[in-house]
Amino acid sequence: MKTAHYIITNSNDFNNDTKAVEKLNCYLNDIESIFPEIEKVFGNTWQDSQINIELNDSKGGALYIPGDDVVKMGIYNRNIQKEYPENLWGCLFHETHHAFLNQILKNRKDREIFNGGCNREVFNYSFMATTYFNLREKNIIDEQLYQKFLNKLERELKDDDAVKLFKEYNDMIFKKSDNFSKFISVVKTSDLLFVDRNKFRKDLDEIKKLLN
C-alpha cells in the first residue's frame, strides 16, 4: 500500500483483515489531504523519498525512527478509527511532523536542542499547533476542534516549563502566518544558532528579534 508520501512496507501481513485495511487506506488519504498544509507551515515541499511505515497489530501509538527513517504504527490505533478531521491527532499526523523536523535535526549533535532542556517534545508540538492554526484558518477544522487539539497538546506536555516554552513559541510564531517557516529557514542556514544547549535562551531571543 502506498500514497504520494507514504509507503507501507508490510501491508500484505494484514490482508486478511479487510476492514482494518480499508480504515487504514482512508486514514492515509486523510493525512495526505493535509500534507500540503504541513509543507506550507514548514516552508518547503517534502524533499525526501516516501516515508516508510511498518505496521504492527497493536492499538498503540506511532513512533518515528529517524535513523531508519521509518514510522512504526499500530494498525488498530484509535486515531485511525476516527472520522476526518477528528483523526488529525497523534499517530501519523504527529510522526509526519517529526519526519519534517528530522531534515534540520539530522546534522545536529543535540536532537533535543529546540526543546530548551525540557524532557518533552515542545518544538514538535508547536509545529503541530501551527498546522492546526492553518487548518482552522482554512476552515478544514472548526474553532471547537482547534481549541480541543491545542488543549490536548498542552496537557500532553504536562511539565510547567514545557508548557511555558510551548506558549512562548506559539506567541512568537502566530504573530505572522509565515513565522514558523522563517524560523526553519534561519536555522537551516545558520551554523551558530541552536547548536549549544547552554545558549538556547540567547539564541531564542535573537531569533525573536529576527521574526518581529
The pTM (predicted TM-score) of the whole model is 0.96
Do β-strands 6-8 and 63-65 pair in parallel, antiparallel, or remain unpaired? unpaired
For residues 14 and 145, give the distance between their C-alpha atoms in angstroms, rounded to a whole number.
32
Q: How many residues does the chain have?
A: 212
Which pLDDT does position 63 carry in this prediction?
Answer: 95
Residue pair 176/135 in contact (Cβ under 8 Å)? The answer is no
Q: What element of type H or E holds 27?
A: helix 18-42
| Contacts of 63 by beta carbon, 8 Å cutoff, 6+ apart | 71, 72, 73, 95
154 to 61, 121, 150: CA distances (angstroms): 18, 11, 7
In the numeric block, the cell 498544509 is attached to 37
Kindly report, residue by residue over 7-42, the tens digit of the pLDDT: 999 999 999 999 999 999 999 999 999 999 999 999
Which pLDDT does position 84 carry in this prediction?
Answer: 98
For residues 95 and 207, give the distance between their C-alpha atoms in angstroms, rounded to a whole number.
26
Q: Return mean pLDDT, the chain.
A: 95
> Does the pLDDT of residue 69 top 90, yes or no?
no
| DSSP at 83 | P
The amino acid that residue 42 corresponds to is F
